[in-house]
């Protein structure tokens, strides 16, 4: 009987602590989310870096050099380096359907 009472008091005490903390966190998150100027954009340079690599990977895929390319730095493994970023990007796969641009 005492173990049931101890379990109930533990859950009520933890609930009294967790629920207000979750409410405070939700309000803080929404406040900073709504006050932020770049909700769906980034202020970093990732876009300029990834646009170059997208171009490099498009050429590599269309030329058949999926795994190794001397055009990547001093030579490197394209599949190993970029498979994490581009294998799940649907827009990258759609750009492979476009004709190859020669720059």
For residue 89, the enclosing domain spans 46-95
* Banded model confidence at residue 3, pLDDT cuts 50, 70, 90: low
Please, what is the end-to-end C-alpha distance for the chain in angstroms?
A: 79
Tens digits of per-residue pLDDT, 69-100? 777 778 877 777 777 777 777 887 787 787 76
Looking at the structure, do residues 69 and 32 belong to the same domain, yes or no?
Answer: no
* Same domain for 26 and 13: yes
What is the average per-residue pLDDT within 54-66? 78
Cα(37)–Cα(35) distance, integer angstroms: 6
58 and 89 part of one domain: yes
Residue written as token pair 């967790």: 18
Of 22 and 51, more confident:
22
Beta carbons within 8 Å of 78's beta carbon, 6+ residues apart: 56, 57, 60, 65, 66, 67, 68, 69, 72
Provide the number of structural domains found in the chain: 2
Specify the pTM.
0.46
The phi, psi pair for 68, rounded to 5°, reads -135, 140
pLDDT above 80 for 18: yes
> Is residue 75 situated within a structural domain?
yes
Backbone angles phi, psi at 20, to 5 degrees: -65, -35
pLDDT value at residue 21:
92
Same domain, 25 and 63: no
């Amino acid at each position: 009987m005492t173990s049931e009472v101890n379990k109930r008091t533990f859950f009520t005490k933890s609930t009294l602590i967790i629920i207000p903390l979750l409410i405070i966190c939700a309000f803080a998150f929404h406040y900073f989310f709504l006050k932020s100027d770049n909700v769906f954009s980034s202020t970093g340079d990732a876009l300029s870096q990834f646009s170059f690599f997208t171009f490099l990977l498009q050429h590599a895929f269309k030329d058949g050099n999926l795994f190794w390319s001397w055009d990547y730095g001093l030579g490197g493994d394209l599949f190993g380096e970029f498979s994490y970023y581009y294998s799940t990007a649907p827009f990258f796969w759609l750009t492979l359907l476009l004709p190859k641009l020669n720059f």
